[in-house]
Structure 1
Amino acid sequence: MPRIPYPSSGDISSENAALLADLPDLNVFKMMARSGAAFAPFMALVNAYLNDGTLDPELRELTILRVGHKNAAQYEVWHHERVSRELGMAEERIMAAGGTLPSPLLNDAENAALVLADDIIENTRASDKSFTAAHAHLGDNQTTELVVVIGVYQMVCAFLETMDIEIESGPVAAGRLEKIKAGVSRSA
């Protein structure tokens, strides 16, 4: 049970209620709608890298899973395992995101990205070794995007765990999170 109840439409601004109505019916979004003016920009940020990002979608999902595992964020892991399956990832690769690195199931770029994620989670400032290894595979822009994704999901995991967000009890509508477009497109 969450520490604060999920909001009713009267508990949040009309703008946030309208945005929430356009999003998948997920508990994280419901609770995040309570964040006031931060909700729409946060959703625009998520929309940007899920829809317009340059990272390979499987590398992105493996990284998000790694952050979820390292933060023991069951909600995050559950949902991004689902997203990874919808991308067509093999179950063994999905599970490798929570395992020992380097993994023979992951390519060099993926292993380097997950090692960088671990380093950031553990130390805030990544070492030259882990940063250089990821950067060698990804280049300037994708490395920057990767660090943003790691940071965003560190925050999301802290939010999920602190607020005790529950995994939805019913089925989740088909379709990856990449479908989040309504209300948070480039104009948001």
Structure 2
Amino acid sequence: MKIAIDVASSGFYKDGGYDLDFKKPKSDPAKFITGKELADIYLGYVKKYPIISIEDPFDQDDWGAWGRFTAQGAIQIVGDDLTVANPVRIKTAIEKKPDGWGVMVSHRSGETGTTFIADLVVALGTGQIKTGAPARSETVAKYNAVTPSEALAGTGAYYAGDKWLSAGRQATALQKK
């Protein structure tokens, strides 16, 4: 078993720092930590647990923290909030981190039970599908559809799985083909 985490750190980024006590209505700004300190916490977890991917480890506008953490190359870093399918943000992210990019197909909140994205993942060979925990029927249906999609697609099509994981600025195995 491997662990992937969606930190959603933009939700606790305040006044240029990260408020780990953000649920408290009047948290103490003197206790906010820097992006570097937050990265050190993540790296400690990565050493201790089988974490292979962290999504949104920093605020979408904390470009320095993103760059420093990604350069360490320990695991896959996912920039969902960082890019949010926004062409301007994607361009900026590419300029600041020009290599090692991959693609993850993701459903959105309130997704239907259709399994189209499972077919899309196999057809495009993206290797990663993000549908959330297998706790509801619409997510389970998508996970269950990956293998049949692979079989129906025919020769050469397959679910790439961890072959599509990047690590920092290191290109994925599929990108090296």
TM-score (norm 1): 0.26
| Structure index of larger Rg | 2
TM-score (norm 2): 0.27
Q: Which has the higher strand share?
A: 2
